Chains A and B, each alone.
Chain A
Amino acid sequence: YSSLVIQPHCFMAVFLHLAFSNKHILLHSHSYPEPGVCACVYKRNHLSSCQLSPSGHHSLCIQSMDGMLMFFEQDSYSFGRFLPGFLLPGPLVYNSRTDSFLTVSSVRQLESYKYETLAVATEAENRQDPDLPLKTGGKRLTPDWTFVLGEQALDLSVPSFSHSSSAVFVLGERNLYCLRDNGQLRFMKKLEFNPSCFFPYASVMNGTTNLLLANHTNMLLIYQDVTLKWAAQLSFVPVAMRVANFPDLKGVVVSLSSDGHLLCSYMGTDPSFFSTPKVDAREADYEQVDAEMKKLQKIIREATRTQETTLMSKYLCSLSSGVGSSTVVAFSAFLNGRYPPADLTGDISVSYNSPTGVPRVLQSRFSLPLALVCVPSFPAKTTKFKITVDTNQPPVDIKSIFPEFSAKSEDKDGNSLAFQFLSGAKVTVLASKTSQRYRIQSDSFEDMWLVVKELVQRFNQHFSKLGVKDFKKSFSGPLPLQEYFLSVDHHFQLRVSAQQYQDLLSERAVQFRAIQRRLLTRFKDKTPAPLQNLDTLLDATYSQVMTLAEAAEETRAQLEEAFVRLRSATHLLVLLLSLWQSLTPDQTAILEATLLPLLQDTPQLGWEESCDAAVSHLLRTCLSRSPKDQATTLAQAGGLVLGLPRDTVRLKKHITLLCDRIAKGGRLTLASEANVQIPAQVQSLAAPGESGRRKRGRDTVGIRIIKSESSSLSDISSITVCLLSFTRSFFNLFLILLPSPSFLFQT
């Protein structure tokens, strides 16, 4: 270890090479003719820092690693003192103006000890444990004054170039302080870097002090009090710095690196510009570049062209074609609750990259077998709800249509079949022996949907297999609207009660917070007031909140179930409507999109209002009585906010009206809408969970509008103006806060 000591008078650097061993210490003692300096090392302890003492005498104070100050007068040990509360050595300095020693202790405060106080304090040798109370005589060592820095100091300095100014400089880890001799703060400066060492060297202007300061980003900074005057870059982080005057070398900055290199330097005026590393500057061969550019542009052009063509042929390719290999994906399906699902279909989407790198997505649908959710059972004779489906073909054996269910059925009679859902509901299918009718009956309206759907699908398959082309199914009506409305009402009731729970919950939460606030103010008060049973009230409210939350949770689960049932019922209704009026698939799709706009209920947007909006839109447009009616009603349509309706009367009326109009020959089509704007109200329906099919339908409408008038578009100059006004956008510097290294500058 080498420590740098600068003599105040001759400015010569002295290295003390101190070698330590456990018990023994090598001793290098130097004395110099100049006044005020000598150095020596004391046995047993390790030296950490040393500094010189009262003028006139050649004395030395050494601080050891265990916090002992050793005082030497004229090369002879005079006394030693332990610093109170010592842990790690801090800087130590002697202030000749007040004849006191300054140090920054482990308490992170600047402490000043008078020399007299030190001299009369308890002898160090008497105290083995600094924490124990004093046993022998002598005074307890107390500082003259202290100043809380709140951080460890790196260095202390008491410059003495003018006796009038009394200043003590402290270089902390994060701040630079200047104090008066009596411990009052003169000024301070917050440092935005990690300093390593400093040295106040002169007072150029009256009342100010210039100081050198080095930091861990290799910078040498010169401050006049708090103003930065000069900055220079060093090639290392100095551990000590001084200004030295040699006989033929005046005012040179001496800095010492941590590996022992001493650098004597001057402040230059030549800025050492930061030279940026070269970007791989290769000679541009213009012909080659041109060729490359052409090649690249050709690729780009081709890529854009193929993109357009394949976009159009997107729906032509199927899942199996074009791929050489096939992959089997095994998956499991689970029932989400104790009720049959509304849908047994699943979606498959495959995303892949085409050879040109264009990402693609393909979608397909599949349906799960009915046997997953129900088991064969005994036919029930008397039920609440019945649906009769007519066909124009001779009756078929139901069991041959549902082979997987007939196997276990014990009924020899071939014209009835019963399904029992896992939730317990039973559905019976009866085939008439004479007529071409089939009857589906059950105790619950919604549960019939899956069976009816399956039945219709299997009929289709069966007869297409037989080669019958003009197979027709029909439903003679009347539509089971009353049964349908039952499940609508049930769903609505649950929604209302969920809303009520929500309101109650927020009310209780407000109450809870109010009590909490009162309690908080009570607890925060310096003189605590009695609680006045507020804690009991808090407990009670808390339990209320919990109960309400549980109830709300339960309602939510019920609501989910109700919504699934409602969806089943709606599907059934749509199916019956299409059978009844033999609607085309397109029309059925529109109807389905209208009646089932959401896949999920949310508190903000529920089925009732969105369905009502969609139905009334249909009623106003393609199902309205006169075309003139359409325009006027649509104009007022905007601005309607969808929310939970008061009751379901309006919705029921609209649905009934919709069925009526369809029955009277109204055609569901989007074509008549083409010249009408989409009302904002319907667009706002594009809420989360919108079904894909519906969305596609809307898109085509929008595009048709644009195409019909796009020929009139020729003037786009006003838009380009906007582009030019928008040229300067990204202009943000992401820079770190610490100043970066290197540079010289003019002040």
Chain B
Amino acid sequence: MEVTMDPLFLAWSYFRRRKLQQCSDICTKILQDNPYDQAAWSLKTRALTEMVYIDEVEVDQEGIAEMMLDESSIAQVARPGTSLRLPGTSQGGGPTPAVRPMTQSGRPITGFVRPSTQSGRPGTMEQAIKTPRTASTARPVTSASGRFIRLGTASMLTNPEGPFINLSRLNLAKYSQKPNLSRTLFEYIFHHENDVKNVSVANLKHQKNLLALYCCFNKKLLFHHQALDLAAQATEHAQFKDWWWKVQLGKCYYRLGLYREAEKQFRSALNHQEMVDTYLYLAKVYQRLDQPITALNLFKQGLDHFPGEVTLLTGIARIHEEMNNIPSATEYYKDVLKQDNTHVEAIACIGSNHFYTDQPEIALRFYRRLLQMGVYNCQLYNNLGLCCFYAQQYDMTLSSFERAMTLVANDEEQADVWYNIGHVAVGIGDLTLAYQCFKLALAFNNDHAEAYNNLAVLELRKGRIEQSKAFLQTAASLAPHMYEPHFNLSILSEKVGDLQSSYTAAQKSEDAFPEHVDTQQVLKQLRQHFAVL
């Protein structure tokens, strides 16, 4: 007897095993036979969502417009220690840039790349337009919705017949009445179509007007002309008692940039039901509103309800790190490791912290642990190589770099590895090798400001002053946040007698690193000179 399996059951089984493409294929077939099969429709929707699902907590890209046209800031100049925007104001005894390099936004370089470390919060428009070297794109993030729209179209490309669900024809009011479909549909629209506007919208009728108004004047949303309110209607349907819908509304508001409304929704959701995710979202809102202290308190409140929750602990550690309070950040990362000692971010951050506080041997242990856990990439070997070098385990240094070189994924990484090899070469006194390494770094990434700076110093040793000066100027224009090129340029200009340039360069160096003693001395000397004149 021919034995056949129920196709829907098969699809469901595929879904459980995360063979999402097969699941979606079978559902497509079922839907061809019976277009009104709600179960298959719902399963396919879930499978398509799962394919592109990214945890919304981790998605944090601040567009250039949001950064510069911030409407929600409370004070122009925040008090020290209360803002993420003034990283230099912390009293936590963070490392100086002489020991630990800074990112463009003025924070010490971190051990783990996450979205917020890439963009940072630039102070001026000019700075905003210049992307940090770590963000491997030529242009700054123009707008959050821009990326989401791109993602949306990319996901549509995989469907040659066009989108699976035609949102413009959907009667959302009808779906919001069906609780068994509405959540699935919401997640689909939110994650797969990235069409925030459709899913959120205001609670009450007259708020539709607000949205229409918003649509007209906000170019970002110009393309979404139909105003649907699935989330809102569903909340209404649930008599405003369902925490989940409130969280979703909050997520939509957050994406639309209506942070205060998002906060309201998250708060209300927390009143109904304490959830880890809600705490994370709310803290994210506060971080975006530049209220790190509130976010910290919220995290701690969350920890009272969910003791030992890794994500909350990590959140606290990240905020401390962003506020330059490295010791506390390390403490919290250690707490994270007590709960989950396979946490890669915590290990990497503690490791890098040890490295920059002159304990390369301990850092080496942390990175070895990562290696043991199966992390196998260029960055890790690069860091291992550096740790080995500074821990005076020279035999491992070069082989680590060799491995890092075989594992590079792009030109930027290759440039960085060559740059570090150049340092090793400087350390062992082989200046020819160092020169060639820095040149290679520039060949792979000609925006590598650090390499320009070091090359300039090497050129100067060879006596080529003009070349050296040109390199220093390039470095200074590429990375105005580094004090080294400014300082070097100041010294060089002073030696050749160009006191005016020397003075301006020294001032820039002072801006980048106010506590630098040598810069202060140069400035003092120059001022004396000018006084004599």
- What DSSP secondary structure best describes chain B's contact surface? helix
Cβ contact within 8 Å between A107 and B179: yes
- B371 and A46: CB pair below 8 A? no
A312 within 8 A of B: no
Chain A residue, CB-CB nearest to B358: A728
Evaluate whether A524 and B423 lie within 8 angstroms (CB atoms) in the complex, with A1-B5, A88-B42 already known. Answer: no
CB contact under 8 A between A719 and B450, given known A185-B273, A727-B426: no
Structural contact, A723 and B457, CB atoms closer than 8 A: yes
The size bracket of the interface on B is: 35 or more
Task: Compute how far the CA of A19 lies from the CA of B1 in the bound complex, rounded to whole angstroms.
Answer: 10
Chain A, range 637-689, C-beta contacts under 8 Å to B: 638, 677, 680
Q: At the interface, yes or no: A712 with Cβ under 8 Å from chain B?
A: yes
Residue of B at shortest CB range from A740? B374
Q: A88-B39, A274-B376, A520-B210 are in contact. Are A737 and B345 (CB under 8 A)?
A: yes
CB of A184, distance to nearest CB on chain B (Å): 10
Q: Using a CB-CB cutoff of 8 Å, which residues 319-355 of chain B contact chain A?
A: 338-345, 348, 352, 355
If A524-B210, A680-B500, A706-B465 touch, whether A106 touches B342 (CB-CB below 8 Å) is: no
CB distance from A214 to the nearest CB of B (A): 12
Given A226-B309, A720-B461, is A731 in contact with B179 using a C-beta cutoff of 8 Å? no
Q: Is the CB of B17 within 8 A of A87?
A: no
Does A330 reach chain B (CB closer than 8 Å)?
no
Task: Verify if B496 is at the interface (C-beta below 8 Å from A).
Answer: yes
> CA separation between A703 and B467, bound complex, in Å?
11
Nearest-neighbor residue (CB-CB) of A735 within chain B: B344
Asked if A745 contacts B341 (CB within 8 A), the reply is yes
B67 contacts the other chain (CB 8 A): no
A470 to B183, CA, bound (A): 92
Contact among B113, B180, B355, B466 with A106 in the assembled complex (CB-CB below 8 Å) = B180
> Are B6 and A726 in contact (CB-based, < 8 A)?
no
- Complex contact A740–B373 (CB within 8 A): yes
Task: Using CB atoms, name the residue of chain B closest to A237.
Answer: B17
Is the beta-carbon distance between A226 and B339 smaller than 8 angstroms? yes
Shortest distance from the beta carbon of B100 to any chain A beta carbon, whole Å: 8
Asked if A152 is at the interface of the complex by the 8 Å CB criterion, the answer is yes
Cβ B497 vs Cβ A279 within 8 A: no
**Cα–Cα, bound, A520→B38 (Å):** 39
What CA separation (Å) do A55 and B403 show in the bound complex?
61
Query: Contacts A148-B244, A727-B426, A740-B373: A712 and B497 contacting too (C-beta < 8 A)?
Result: yes
- When distances are taken between beta carbons in the complex, the residues of chain A under 8 Å from B202 are 524
| In the complex, residue of chain B having the shortest beta-carbon distance to the beta carbon of A131 | B178
- Asked whether B109 is an interface residue with its Cβ less than 8 Å from the other chain, the reply is yes
Q: Does any Cβ of A come within 8 Å of B397's Cβ?
A: no
Chain A stretch 145-164: residues in CB contact (< 8 A) with chain B: 148-150, 152, 154
Complex interface: chain A residues within 8 A of B277 (CB):
175, 190
Kindly list chain B residues whose C-beta atoms are within 8 Å of the C-beta of A516: 213, 217
In the assembled complex, A32 has its CB within 8 A of some CB on chain B: no
Please tell me the size bucket of the interface on A.
35 or more
- Distance in angstroms from B101 CB to nearest chain A CB is 5
Q: How far apart are B236's CB and chain A's nearest CB, in angstroms?
A: 14
Mark the stretch among B84-92, B147-155, B167-175, B378-386 that contacts chain A: B378-386
Mask for B13-38, Cβ within 8 A of A = 1, else 0? 10011100000000000000000001
Residues of B within 8 A of A741 (CB): 374
Q: Is A276 an interface residue (CB 8 A)?
A: yes
Q: How long is the Cα–Cα vector from A258 to B16 in the complex, in angstroms?
A: 10
Q: What is the 8 Å Cβ interface bit string for chain B, positions 272-315, against chain A (1 contact, 0 not)?
A: 01111100100000000000000000000000001111110000
* CB atoms of B372 and A743 under 8 A apart: yes
Interface flag for A288 (CB, 8 Å):
no
Q: Which residues of A contact B262 (CB under 8 A)?
A: none
B478 — which chain A residues lie within 8 A by C-beta? none
* Residues B433-477 near A (CB distance < 8 A): 436, 450, 453-454, 457, 460-461, 465-466, 469
Residues of chain B within 8 A of A192, CB atoms compared: 310-311
**Cβ–Cβ < 8 Å partners of A108 in chain B:** 183, 244
Contact assessment for B352 and A726 in the assembled complex, using a CB-CB cutoff below 8 Å: no
User: What is the minimal beta-carbon distance from A307 to any residue of chain B, in angstroms?
Assistant: 12
Residues of B within 8 A of A425 (CB): none
3 closest A-B pairs (Cβ-Cβ)? A150-B244, A523-B210, A106-B180
What residues make up the interface of B, taking CB atoms closer than 8 Å to A? 1-6, 8-9, 12-13, 16-18, 38-39, 42-43, 46, 55, 58, 98-101, 109-114, 134, 178-181, 183-184, 202, 204, 206-207, 209-210, 213-214, 217, 242-244, 247, 273-277, 280, 306-311, 338-345, 348, 352, 355-356, 371-377, 379-380, 382-383, 386, 390, 399, 402-403, 406, 413, 416, 419-420, 423, 426-427, 436, 450, 453-454, 457, 460-461, 465-466, 469, 484, 487-488, 491-492, 495-498, 500, 504, 518
> Could you show 5 A-B contacts with beta carbons less than 8 Å apart?
A19-B3, A85-B178, A106-B181, A175-B277, A720-B457
